[in-house]
Every structure is written in C-alpha cells, then in structure tokens.
C-alpha cells in the first residue's frame, strides 16, 4: 500500500456529506437489525454487516437497508470472531498499559474488519494490513474523531438551554451521529486502502 495521507478537513466534510446522504438507509438497517437480532444464526450475519457498513458507504453510493441480510456475511462468522477476539485482547492489553497504547492499537487495527470482509484477508493478515495502512495517519484519524465528538458536545450543551425543543434537537442530533461516524470510517477505508491500491497500480 502507498503512503496515502488523510486530509483532516476533507475527512470531516466527506463524512458529514456521506452520513447525511445515507442517514435514512442506515437508520433502516439498524431498525431491521433490531427487529431480527433475536433470530439465531441470521443475527450473526446481520451484526457483521452492520459493523462493516463503512465498506458499503466507501463505494460512494446510497446503501440499501436490506443489504444486512446478504448471506455472504455469515460465511465470515468464524474469521470474524477470531479477528475480533485477537483485536479486543490487544486493545485491552494496550489500555492496561496506561491507556494511550490502547488508543494507538485501536486506531492501527480499525480497518481490519473491512479488510477481512471486503478483501477476504485472514484475521492475522487483516490486522497486519490495517496496521500498515494506518501508519502515519493515526493522529489525523484520532483528531477527526475527536473533532466530531467536540462538535456534538458543543451542540448538546447549547441545546441544553432550549428546554423541550433542545431535548428534541439533541435526540435528532444523536440519530444523525452514527451515520456520520460510520461515514468517517468509510472515508478512512476508502482513502487508506481503496485509493492506496489504485495509486499503487498507477
């Protein structure tokens, strides 16, 4: 993979644009997941699909809420559990070493689920490729996430002075947050993996 760099401003603008464009679809996908999460086996595929929504968003089109029922996601059940078992153990160990290593490891491995599903990497390769792809970009990734969270906190603080209307606005804001955060991850994946692959081929 090439040394593609994340543009902080572009990351925020793109994630907001993609998030708002896919807002109804993502809400629909979450509702469908909630309605079917009690169904054994099917719920594994829909959960994997929900977690890897950024793959679909990164393609630049409006997703369909029903994509979570695609049977391909259930095929990765074993690899998904293995990958995330390793990932969470590594992150937990990092947090035990005074927090900052945990944050760094979390960012380093943040693309691994997408590489597992989209590029069909095995769990160890997915972790390694994610670490390689995010190298030199972790600070920009962290700051992009932090900027969105700060914006949310500011708006929630302002809405707190508006009484009932403020509560409604806060609720609507929180609904819009998830699609934007999903889209930010989609931007990271597109920039650091998909665009990097194109750059290498050229």
- Give dist(CA 107, CA 141) in Å, integer: 7
Predicted TM-score (pTM) of this structure: 0.90
- DSSP string for residues in 91-152: HHHHHHTTSHHHHHHHHHTTTHHHHHHHS---HHHHHHHHHHHHTTTHHHHHHHHHHHHHHH
The string of pLDDT tens digits covering residues 28-46 is 999 999 999 999 999 999 9
Greatest extent of the chain over all pairs of C-alpha atoms, in Å: 56
The string of pLDDT tens digits covering residues 63-112 is 999 999 999 999 999 999 999 999 999 999 999 988 899 999 999 999 99
Mean pLDDT, residues 168-189: 91
Angle made by CA atoms 38, 36, 55, in degrees to the nearest 5: 120
**Half-sphere exposure (Cβ direction) of 11: Cα atoms closer than 13 Å:** 25
- Give dist(CA 132, CA 170) in Å, integer: 38
């Amino acid at each position: 993979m090439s040394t593609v760099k994340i543009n902080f401003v572009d990351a925020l603008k793109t994630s907001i644009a993609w998030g708002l464009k896919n807002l109804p679809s993502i809400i629909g996908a979450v509702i469908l997941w909630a309605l079917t999460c009690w169904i054994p086996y099917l719920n594994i595929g829909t959960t994997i699909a929900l977690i890897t929504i950024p793959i679909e968003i990164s393609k630049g089109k409006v997703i369909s809420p029903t994509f979570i029922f695609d049977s391909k996601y259930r095929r990765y059940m074993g690899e998904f559990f293995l990958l995330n078992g390793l990932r969470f153990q590594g992150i937990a160990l990092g947090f035990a070493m005074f927090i900052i290593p945990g944050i760094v490891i979390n960012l380093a491995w943040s693309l691994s689920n997408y590489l597992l599903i989209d590029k069909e990497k095995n769990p160890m390769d997915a972790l390694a490729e994610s670490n390689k792809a995010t190298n030199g970009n972790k600070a920009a990734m962290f700051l992009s996430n932090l900027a969105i969270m700060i914006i949310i906190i500011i708006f929630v603080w302002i809405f707190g002075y508006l009484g009932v209307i403020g509560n409604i606005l806060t609720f609507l804001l929180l609904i819009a947050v998830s699609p934007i955060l999903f889209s930010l991850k989609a931007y990271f994946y597109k920039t650091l993996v998909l665009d990097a692959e194109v750059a290498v081929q050229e």
